[in-house]
Structure 1
Amino acid sequence: MTAESMTERVVAEPAGPAREAAFAHALDVLRDRRDEFEAQRYVSRDFIALLKRAGMYRASTPTEFGGEPMAPADFMSMVEQISAVDPATGWVASFGSSLVYFAALPPASQATIYASGPDVAYAGGLFPMQEAEKVDGGYVCTGVWQFASGCMGADILGIGLAGGPDTAGKPLTALVDPADVDIVENWNVAGMKATGSHSVRADRLFVPDEMVFVRGGTPQIDEPITRYPGLAYAAQVLAVVTLGAARGALDYAVEVGAARTSITGGQVKGNRSFYKTGVARAEAELRSARAFFYDTTAQIWDKAVAGQPISSSDTAMLRLAATHAAHVGRRVALDVFDLAGTGAIYDTHPLQRYLQDAMVPAQHAMLQTGTYEAAGAVLLGLDAGIPSFP
């Protein structure tokens, strides 16, 4: 594997107005192409390039390797804005945060990955974790790994390997060149269609030791972005997609409800008691969950910047805020669907995108209902009962 093969040479615009304009342009393009991405079931590589120009794929690259790490709240705000246009594309963009995992690699390996620039798109098909054959200098990997979101536009892929006593039970991730594996296009789902979360297949692929790391392992680079809890961040970036989906749905409800006339000639929807009350309650729920989410993020980021210890309770609070955001966002999207009435059942209705996609994040293992219990256990000083939690 070479840096040349891993990294498409797309460079972020200079920080400031040029990068902000690049992000605004990407949102405009997405409004035009989101139906295309949903129909083909993946986000096209040329659109990933637009997100690179907006700085999203250097947002978790350490400064040591030319990155411009963003505060998690700032990065997730961008993901939220994308998700308000198209949640599935927001899900793919959220993996711009996942380069924090690479900090567990030897510094020389990280230097190889970023040799052609800090703007690297990564996708991981990590489950089921496969038992690889350990050989001199690396691992021989065979198997099929599911849920490789964004794999169709990735520069580098990760595959999951089972850990052992030397990793404290934590799984390993092996980094591979997309050209060395097969993408099995089997992403047939009702929600998050455009994420292209296909499977990855390898047959006796050798991966050198220096390109294998413990997921959630000790960072070898010490910067604020590598001090921030990596697994919690992985849950957060998925949860914020639901906040964006709910915002997109709610904005649509307000736009429709503010219309002056009804198609039937009767009272407009927005002037009906149930509609006004429903919009108000949904707005309050969404803003409350969002405030908890971002406030908790800011508190823990301040600790990371200051180099202060981040406790298990701190990390559990991040996980709790993420789970809550995913579940509240899903409920808000469903409540808006209820307000919309019969017309919303059609595939072509604007709310279908938000509804179908908003149902998915809370189904993710990192955000399922059981993580409420796990967070409560940690806050009470008890065993979480879930591996790698918090």
Structure 2
Amino acid sequence: MMTAESLTERVCAEPVGAARDAAFDHALDVLRDRRDEFNSQRYVPADYIALLKRAGMYRASTPAVFGGEPMAPSDFMSLVERISAVDPATGWVSSFGSSLVYFAALPAETQRKIYAHGPDIAYAGGLFPMQEAQKVDGGYLCTGVWQFASGCRGADLIGIGLAGGPETDGKPLTALVDPADVEIVENWDVAGMKATGSHAVRADRVFVPEEMTFVRGGLPQIDEPLTRYPALAYAAQVLAVVTLGAARGALDYAIEVGAARTSITGGASKGNRPAYKSGLAVAEAELRSARAFFYESTDRVWAKAVAGQHISTDDQALLRLSATHAAHVGRSVVLQVFDLAGTGAIYETHPLQRYLQDALVPAQHAMLQTNTYEAAGALLLGLEAGIPSFP
């Protein structure tokens, strides 16, 4: 049974400043050495999650009132972007350091108990499909299988999705469970984002106390700037920024290779070819433009959250639009770099394969698919989005 008291003492982040920065740099160095291992085993292990905790990634959305050090979205996402430039799949897992914003909808006392042993919590959510749970005294008996629980092999808490009822006005619930109380079904057989370990989760009559459930994106019980920032838009953004990082990693590789004096055949270097130079420049301009729109939108809405100002539907629509655009442009940039690389890039061991396979995935996510362009446009025109829970 999952209770707030059942959480054990956790790894803590290094102090802010030089020690925290050194912990982050160390995590990147280790990732360069181990990313092939993570990809091969199809998950980021708990010992590496511990390094990200020491770097502060898993207290970045814990409320300050509970000992967290909530980061401005741009600051957090720039770290995810840097991780993703080394390994996008690990960046995807690290991005869920933002997801504790959902916990703000839990009763305040529950939050206090969850964070009693420290603010550094790795959370994974396997929310779909929403399952009907049996309502019993004090909570729910949960049975079912939930898909796409990214990072579940290294999580301290796992969320599962429950269909809502009259008590939630029909809104779906997330129930928090102890990873020891559920089975991880290893079905993550994919071509891209292998290391995210987005396996399924199976529960069999697991009891979850009512106070350990919340409406995803529900009304926060804690009022801080990060709990005022649109939670569902943030969820889309932290996935989109992974693609920006993947594109950066691919472009950096193209620049390094293009700067070589000669090619493998001894002829003129690739960088001296007109198509390579112009292709690289166009890709760089497209990535930087999408990135500027992404972070400008973020910072404008964050300023409103800090000031306690109203965040409008148009504000949220632009957040979602900039996220979708980042995911699609980032994917396009990686494909452009792949074209520049030539025949060698088709081999599985080629460095660009990591970015190519992983960068295709975020734009396939329901929060970033092509139809979200239309939904954002509809809202900017004062029309209905046509997509549930948008923006």
Q: Would the TM-score normalized by the shorter structure come out above 0.5? A: yes
Instruction: Report the Cα offset of residue 8 of structure 1.
Output: 4.8
The answer for unaligned runs of 5 or more in structure 1 is none
- Residue type of the alignment partner of 1:379: L
TM (norm. structure 1) is 0.99
Find the residue that maps to 1:233 and give its secondary structure.
Answer: helix
Aligned pairs (5 A) from 1:1-12: 1-3=2-4, 5-12=6-13
Cα distance in structure 2, aligned partners of 1:331 and 1:163: 39
Q: Which residue does 2:312 correspond to in 1?
A: 311
Task: Name the residue aligned to 2:180.
Answer: 179
Corresponding position of 2:58: 57
CA–CA separation in structure 1 for the residues paired with 2:265 and 2:83: 34
8 Å contact kept, 1:7–1:117: no
DSSP 3-state at the match of 1:383 = coil
- Write the mapping of 1:177-326 to structure 2, written as runs, cut at 5 A: 177-326=178-327
CA–CA separation in structure 1 for the residues paired with 2:247 and 2:233: 21
State the Cα deviation string for residues 272-303 of structure 1 (Å, max 9, x = none): 01100100000000000000000000000000
Query: Is it true that 1:127 corresponds to 2:142 in the alignment?
Result: no
Letter aligned with residue 176 of structure 2: L
Taking only aligned residues, the RMSD between alpha carbons, in angstroms, comes to: 1.0
In the TM superposition, residue 263 of structure 1 has moved relative to its aligned partner by 1.2
2:48 maps to a residue whose letter is: F
> In 2, are the aligned partners of 1:183 and 1:200 still within 8 Å (CA)?
yes
AA aligned opposite 2:10: R
The answer to whether residue 63 in structure 2 is matched with residue 67 in structure 1 is no
Aligned partner letter, 1:82? I
Q: Which string of whole-angstrom CA distances, capped at 9 and with x for unpartnered residues, describes residues 157-186 of structure 1?
A: 000011245534432100000000000111
Q: Is the Cα–Cα contact under 8 Å of residues 59 and 69 in structure 1 kept in the other structure?
A: yes
Measure the CA separation in 2 of the matches of 1:296 and 1:282.
Answer: 21
State the Cα distance separating 1:136 from its structure 2 match: 1.8
Aligned length: 390
Q: Which is further off, 224-233 or 264-273?
A: 264-273
Q: Kindly state the Cα deviation for residue 257 of structure 1 after the two structures are TM-superposed.
A: 0.4
Give 3-state SS (helix, strand or coil) of 1:241's partner: helix
Cα distance between partner residues in 2 of 1:253 and 1:7:
45
Equivalent in the alignment of 2:155:
154
| Residue in 2 that maps onto 1:96 | 97
- Distance across 1 between alignment mates of 2:331 and 2:169: 35
The one-letter amino acid paired with 1:354 is: Y
Secondary structure of the 2:117 match is coil
Establish whether residue 386 from structure 1 lines up as the match of residue 391 from structure 2. Answer: no
Whole-Å separation in 1 of the counterparts to 2:3 and 2:25: 33
Distance change >3 Å, CA 383–CA 69, structure 1 → 2: same
* Aligned partners of 1:8 and 1:120 also within 8 Å: no
| C-alpha deviation, 1:6, in angstroms | 3.0
**How high is the TM-score relative to the length of structure 2?**
0.98
Please give the alpha-carbon distance, in whole angstroms, between the structure 1 residues aligned to 2:368 and 2:176. 25
Give the match's secondary structure for 2:184.
Answer: strand
- Counterparts of 1:4 and 1:306, CA distance in 2: 35
- Cα deviation, 1:345-390, whole Å, max 9, x if unaligned, reads 0000000000000000000000000000000011111000000000
